[in-house]
Amino acid sequence: MIDILSAKISFLWGSVSPMLAAATTTIGATANSAAGTTGTPWWVWPVMLFAATFVMGIVAVLAGVGGGVLFTPIIGGFFPFHLDFVRGAGLLVALSGALAAGPGLLKANLANLRLALPVALIASTFSIVGAFMGLALPTNITQTAMGITIMLIALLFVFSKNTEYPNAGAPDGISKKLGIAGSYFEATSGKTINWTIWRTPQGFLMFVLIGIIAGMFGLGAGWANVPVLNLLMGAPLKIAVGSSKFLLSITDTSAAWIYLNQGAVLPLIAVPSILGIMFGSFVGVRLLAGTKPKAVRYLVIGMLGFAGLQSLLKGLGVFN
């Protein structure tokens, strides 16, 4: 029976994989050829950007990461734009996605102000530092470092365990002083979940690093917010995802203004991307409350791994 099953799977994969490979190659080849072909209408690129970011918007909310972590390596890899403009647009894309998702998350208490405000202050301050560093570094170094960072986070999710409801210890002094705790309604189980956090000083230190990297790479930082809030500080996964999405709106605002004021934002790139991600995010928020935490985690792993590998190969010059 096992032999029959494996034979069927092999036949199915043999039928599907060539088509998947062809589709991926076609998308990349089309984008690359369009970039170098004078006959390609200039308006094709805004249209493609809108379509791509709409899909990213849905996935980003479900995965609890900003659109920037998907946008910057994917658009930077397949579109003919310089990484400066891609990062500037990426921060605005992540910002707009967070703003679109914020109201629903705040009203459902899936995003908690008492948790988000302190860490957002730290991250937003140091994202300014990161923005300065990012615009000063050579492009290939930034691209390579960004790819490595994203892949490491994907690996972190692969090897983490029991993250839906972490076994957090007793709240520490800082979390008690700030009153960082709350409750939310878990729609999939029909129960109200009370939560608190611990290891707050360590978490705060991590958000220093997160802020710097977010500003440097123009990613948005959701890829780091969720594991720190969930794995290190012990917040339930849905609270970590919701609060991460909300605090992106704060962290990315400061870095985005740096890029905007440095001329690294082109409306032809940024606006269709923002419109696409915002519409996609609205759809994603409607799906989050009824999504099981485990499904969200698997989605994060897949999307981060793909985005990281793509960015790394481009930074090393394997892709142009």
Partner 1 sequence: MAKSKVSALKQIDYPKQEETALPATGVTVAPEQLKYATLLMYGAWSGIVTLAATFFLYMSGAITSFIPPSQMPQYWGMKASKYLELTGAPHGFGWAGMLGYGDYMNYIGLALLGTLTIAGYLILLPAYLKKKDRPYTVIVVAEILVLSLAASGILKVGGH
- Restricted to residues 30-59, the positions that interact with partner 1 (CB under 8 A) are 42-43, 46
CB 260 to partner 1: min, Å: 7
> Which is closer to partner 1, CB of 169 or CB of 317?
169
Q: Draw the binding track, 206-235, toward partner 1 (x: CB under 8 A; -: no contact).
A: ------------------------------
From the list 96, 143, 200, 243, which residue makes contact with partner 1 (rule: CB under 8 A)?
Answer: 96
* Contact window for partner 1 (CB under 8 A) among 15-23, 95-103, 153-161, 301-309: 95-103
Structure tokens at 85: 């403009």
Residues numbered 104 to 143 that lie near partner 1 (CB under 8 A) are 104, 106-109, 113-114, 117-118, 120-121, 124-125, 128, 131-132, 135-136, 139
From the list 271, 283, 309, 313, which residue makes contact with partner 1 (rule: CB under 8 A)?
Answer: 271
From the list 90, 102, 220, 222, which residue makes contact with partner 1 (rule: CB under 8 A)?
Answer: 102
> Which is closer to partner 1, CB of 58 or CB of 274?
274
Residues numbered 61 to 90 that lie near partner 1 (CB under 8 A) are 80-82, 84-85, 88
> Which is closer to partner 1, CB of 69 or CB of 216?
216
DSSP code of residue 264: -
CB 220 within 8 A of CB 90: yes
CB 67 within 8 A of CB 97: yes
Q: How many residues bind partner 1 (CB under 8 A)?
A: 76
CB 112 to partner 1: min, Å: 8
Q: What is the distance between the terminal CA atoms of the chain, rounded to a whole angstrom?
A: 47
- 170 touching partner 1, by CB under 8 A: yes
DSSP code of residue 111: S
> Which is closer to partner 1, CB of 119 or CB of 153?
119
> Which is closer to partner 1, CB of 15 or CB of 192?
192
DSSP code of residue 184: E
Instruction: Give the chain's length.
Output: 320
> Which is closer to partner 1, CB of 14 or CB of 41?
41
Q: Draw the binding track, 276-305, toward partner 1 (x: CB under 8 A; -: no contact).
A: --x---------------------------
**Alpha-carbon torsion (308, 258, 208, 271), positive or negative:** negative
Q: Draw the binding track, 179-198, toward partner 1 (x: CB under 8 A; -: no contact).
A: x-x-xxx------x-x-x--
* 282 residue type, one letter: F
From the list 144, 163, 254, 310, which residue makes contact with partner 1 (rule: CB under 8 A)?
Answer: 254
* Helices assigned H by DSSP within 160-292: 173-178, 200-217, 222-227, 237-261, 267-288
3-state class (DSSP) for residue 164: coil
Long-range Cβ contacts of 166-169 (<8 Å, 24+ apart): 166/230, 166/231, 166/234, 166/235, 166/236, 166/237, 167/234, 168/195, 168/196, 168/197, 168/198, 168/233, 168/234, 168/235, 169/198, 169/199, 169/234
CA distances from 163 to 94, 160, 214 (A): 24, 7, 23
